[in-house]
């Protein structure tokens, strides 16, 4: 992967340079990623893009492609009687909000933002996640993707 490909894929996945340096470059050997200037050197071509970084970016792109396929399927089912799109999605403005659901990997927050942005371009509506409001709405019920979707639908009415 060359420097321009790295930069374009990072942007497609909605990562800022600091986020990519921290999350994408993290590994068992390097828990906290790399320094921001190292990432910038990969992108400006001063340093060659390491194979493990190229591999991780491509894996994230594959995850995004699968998520887009699932989203496109859901959009086909989410049209009202008039053929209008009637889908409401949760927007996570922070990684903490995204990762507040057990089992979610922080590194997938920005790629998920990229998928959601495409859904909005197709006509989906968004509700910003509000941790406190959601917790009050959820009560003693079990947190899940489906519950968060139901909360978002309730908020958009």
What pLDDT score was predicted for residue 82?
Answer: 63
Give the residue, 79 or 35, on which the prediction is more confident. 35
Domain 3-155, CATH 1.10.3100.10 — does that match?
yes
- The token duo for 64 is 């995004």
- The token duo for 51 is 């194979």
State percent of the chain over pLDDT 70: 90
- To the nearest 10 degrees (0 to 180), the angle between helices 3-12 and 36-44 is 120
pLDDT in tens, 88-147: 899 999 999 999 999 999 999 999 999 999 999 988 889 999 999 999 999 999 999 999
pLDDT over threshold 80, residue 77: no
DSSP-based three-state secondary structure for 4: helix
Give the residue, 27 or 61, on which the prediction is more confident. 61
Instruction: Output phi, psi for 62, to 5 deg.
Output: -65, -40
What pLDDT score was predicted for residue 73?
Answer: 80
pLDDT over threshold 90, residue 156: no
Average pLDDT of the chain?
90
- Give domain limits for the chain: 3-155
Q: pTM for the complete prediction?
A: 0.87
State percent of the chain over pLDDT 90: 75
Q: How confident is the model at residue 56 (pLDDT cuts 50, 70, 90)?
A: very high
Listed in sequence order, the DSSP H helices in 13-144 are: 17-19, 36-44, 51-77, 95-99, 109-121, 131-138
Give the residue, 37 or 32, on which the prediction is more confident. 37
What pLDDT score was predicted for residue 42?
Answer: 97
Long-range contacts of range 146-152, CB-CB < 8 Å, 24 or more positions apart?
A: 148/90, 148/101, 149/88, 149/89, 149/90, 151/90, 151/127, 152/88, 152/89, 152/90, 152/127
Report CA-CA distances (Å) from 132 to 90, 135, 136, 145, 147: 14, 5, 6, 17, 15
């Amino acid at each position: 992967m060359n420097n321009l490909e790295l930069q374009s894929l990072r942007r497609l996945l909605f990562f800022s340079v600091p986020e990519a340096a921290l999350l994408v470059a993290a590994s068992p050997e390097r828990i906290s990623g790399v320094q921001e200037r190292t990432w910038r050197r990969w992108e400006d071509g001063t340093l060659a893009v390491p194979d493990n970084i190229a591999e991780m970016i491509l894996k994230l792109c594959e995850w995004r492609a699968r998520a887009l396929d699932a989203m496109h399927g859901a959009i086909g089912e989410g049209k009202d009687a008039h053929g209008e799109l009637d889908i409401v999605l949760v927007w996570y403005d922070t990684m903490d909000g995204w990762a507040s659901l057990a089992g979610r990997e922080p590194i997938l927050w920005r790629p998920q933002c990229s998928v959601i942005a495409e859904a909005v371009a197709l006509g989906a509506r968004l509700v910003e996640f509000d941790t406190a409001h959601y917790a009050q709405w959820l009560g003693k019920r079990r947190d899940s993707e489906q519950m968060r979707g139901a909360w978002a639908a309730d908020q958009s009415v």
